[in-house]
Structure 1
């Protein structure tokens, strides 16, 4: 939404980049090899501004979202925006926020949880430790300057964690990111209200979002828009799920795009000025993102179709700690995403080879013969060492010993003995790890120790066993809008066009 808004107003405001918050969170991330771009959009469940300050009370009242302490500080909206370098339809892929995944490098002993929590775990870790790496001080006890600095450090940690989690989860490069706060969403809606939306049936959620809407096409104000996109329960429909909430957000984006394209809002300098002020106050982007150039390009292709997808889940379940999560088929989701965005932006083969590359299959390594690979499971994931041996000991690497460490280790490592440097370096390139020489390992031996930061989902399914070489779930693509009494199932991949106002559940 932010991107589209700014793109349309680009011709009037060329100084957008000045004053916007920039981040180094993507400094070490590998980009797409071609001209395509993958942009991760993160919508934060944080009820404070960029400096960690409280918002005005009237904003909290309108948000239906409690006070400054009510949010979970996580990335409540996750969307990968794929922009083809050579033109064509722009694809937006929504990741359900409760998908149960590995959280690489998380600051807790259990690095597995909801995909949205990658941000909040890293964020809260910095806040609780005072933001400087020491154990002194608590959240928001320093003066205003220190609080603002700590807030930015915490958000930077959250950005890095979320980007890494999504990149490894879907096995795609992330070229840029846009971070949007909850209040930005509200303020944009306030500037362009009323907004036309359409619902398939009467709906009400008096407990969480405050939503109360009638069936059919209707115009809503900014406060109602927040309830529209945040609804996750319906007293009239026990089958209303969090994926329906995701499709509400997509429908709102489609409605907003339609309004901006067809109403005089776009030619009103005062309105555009307010929109750009919202961006500067409530949005962060990576420092390498030429936002001005991107928006100029986006403006040139503003008539290009935008297609929005929501990834499917297998089931909704409750895990041991009481959390309600989405159980997913990781290889299948990767295959879907790789097919949707094509080979150019993945840094892999074209779609005809997607299945093998999406499911953890490895390429033959050009290493010296007779190199033994030993794997130590220090991640606390059952069966991981054996699965890694089977997956990685291919070509010139031969299977060695698979073992389990006495305790978990946070950081994964690769060690090598004499004669095994090339093999270890090749393995390190594949796993994004640095290989280190060891004086204790036998010649022609490589030892991989998989810690809790290791992307185990690449090699294990959700039951802790080795994933199949091809997607294990048959997925049907359906329209995101209901047809008669037929509603999208959580197990469906749903598709929505942003060319009009869609009527959703």
Structure 2
């Protein structure tokens, strides 16, 4: 029997994922400890600096790494799932020319191929092993980039919002949908597909895992689209695994944080004193995963964890810029490798095209909103803790934020001077000198620049090591050099040639 939209009937309760607890068993991994006053009313916060987790940092790395264009394009895992669920289906009028990207952060202890991680990674992240955790999308964000030049917007969706799952029916004849926490839509579909493929001959374990992940992605995309309403369709998606955050922190440690008071949490491994301090990558994971405080008033919650993540990523991005990591090919290479190991994207996401947009994210040219909740449900219909939401209010909020017909508009931006803009005049020929110490970097950089419309000036060469990326230009080419530096990333030096 099939549902009205062709979906397969499902049991009365979606399979419950394995508890996503760290090494020490969490007796109630989704509980909230809040007094009544703090539970009432919607939660709405506006951020003007950075995002909820390291996901946007990974996305920004994709944009900055122009010189690693082919490395990224050839090694990122890609999927055609978006084209399958929305073949040639545009957004509603008014949003059709805008770009919507769903960013998913998975609470998985596996790599992109479904293999367990090295034990030292589990130990460092204080997350147990591959037997713990499911395929929940514990971070869900929509990045909306208007076509008319207005500031980009990120909508953060609380992971425990209780919603209906798109395309899944418990009782097709009655039209009763599967439901649960929005983060579990991915895991539910993943496990259903995994079970369907379990005894299929001729498929490798990796291929079964890939197909199950595509089923999870499709379910999560459709569920979020249905939840946000307003005819929104995602043009692209980015999926990042848990270990990416830790490995990014490894590349830039130590990281400076500042706490108002002592705090400790045995579940995440957090144990910090008050004041300004520098922490390691291992401590960083504990810092951003903490949602309890054994030394506090037990009012810590997921929302506190989000604020802590915001503060941490602000510090991380600041330090990346201060240390020149994003302008130094040799140092950036490590971040690029993290992206290729831990990031999956849709087939249509073009790295060079996205480069200018990604730069805006870490430059603070984006506004962040957390969508409102009405209350916490202590014991939902399946016995868990979740967020009660008003879907009509959610969709009205989304419309007010994203509808370009609203009065709040940005001043027109000159195509030649706006963020990520490029000139329509003829581009000068370029020659690339590899001063990074990274083998093949000059060849990859030159190939990417030729793809971007720059004529090849000469064969790539190798020169003395330099600390930063530099654009050297002849007299009269200052504007062209400035445009090229924007393409390459922040803090790129431009120097007029002496000859």
TM-score band by shorter chain is 0.5 to 0.7
Task: Report deviation, 1:337.
Answer: 2.2
Shift of 1:85: 2.6
1:198 Cα deviation from its structure 2 partner: 3.2
Residues in 1 aligned to 2:275 and 2:146: alpha-carbon distance in whole angstroms:
35
Moved over 6 A (4+): none
Contact 1:246 1:310 in 2 (8 A): no
- Say if 2:319 is the partner of 1:259: yes
Corresponding residue number in structure 1 for 2:278: 219
Q: Which residue of 1 is the match for residue 153 of structure 2? A: 91
Q: CA deviation at 1:339?
A: 2.0
Q: Distance in 1 between matches of 2:217 and 2:139?
A: 13
The alpha-carbon distance between structure 1 residues 10 and 218, as it changes in their structure 2 partners (threshold 3 A), is: farther
**1:12: how far off?**
5.3
For the aligned residue pairs, the C-alpha RMSD in angstroms reads 2.4
Alpha-carbon offset, residue 9 of structure 1:
3.0
SS at 1:277 equivalent: helix
Out of 352, 355, 360, the residue aligned to residue 295 of structure 1 is 355
8 Å contact kept, 1:3–1:295: no
For 1:85-484, list aligned pairs within 5 A: 85-106=147-168, 111-130=178-197, 136=199, 146-171=204-229, 172-206=232-266, 208-235=267-294, 236-299=296-359, 303-317=363-377, 318-340=379-401, 342-344=402-404, 350-351=405-406
In structure 1, the partner of 2:135 is: 73
2: distance between equivalents of 1:64 and 1:210? 6
Answer yes or no: is 1:20 the counterpart of 2:76.
yes
SS in 1 for 2:381: coil
Deviations 1:268-312 (A, max 9, x none): 323211211111121111111113310244337863523322222
SS in 1 for 2:74: coil
Q: Is the 8 A contact 1:47 1:182 kept in 2?
A: yes
C-alpha distance in 2 between matches for 1:13 and 1:101: 39
Distance 1:302 1:9 in 2: 14
Deviation string, structure 1 residues 434-484 (Cα, Å, up to 9, x no partner) = xxxxxxxxxxxxxxxxxxxxxxxxxxxxxxxxxxxxxxxxxxxxxxxxxxx
Compute the displacement of 1:261 (Å). Answer: 2.1
TM-score (norm 1): 0.62
Instruction: Verify the 8 A CA contact 2:317 2:362 in the aligned structure 1.
Output: no
Residues 31-58 of structure 1 show CA distances to partners (whole Å, capped at 9, x for unaligned) of 4444321211100011111111111010
Normalised by the length of structure 2, the TM-score is 0.63
How far does residue 215 in structure 1 lie from its aligned partner after superposition?
3.0
Task: Say whether the 8 Å CA contact 1:78–1:97 is kept in structure 2.
Answer: yes
Residue 300 to residue 92, structure 1, CA distance change in 2 (3 Å): closer
Query: Which range moves more in the overlay, 195-204 or 281-290?
Result: 195-204
Contact 2:186 / 2:217 at 8 angstroms: preserved in 1?
yes
| Structure 2: unaligned runs, 5 residues or longer | 1-56, 172-176, 409-499
Q: Is the 8 A contact 1:89 1:304 kept in 2?
A: no
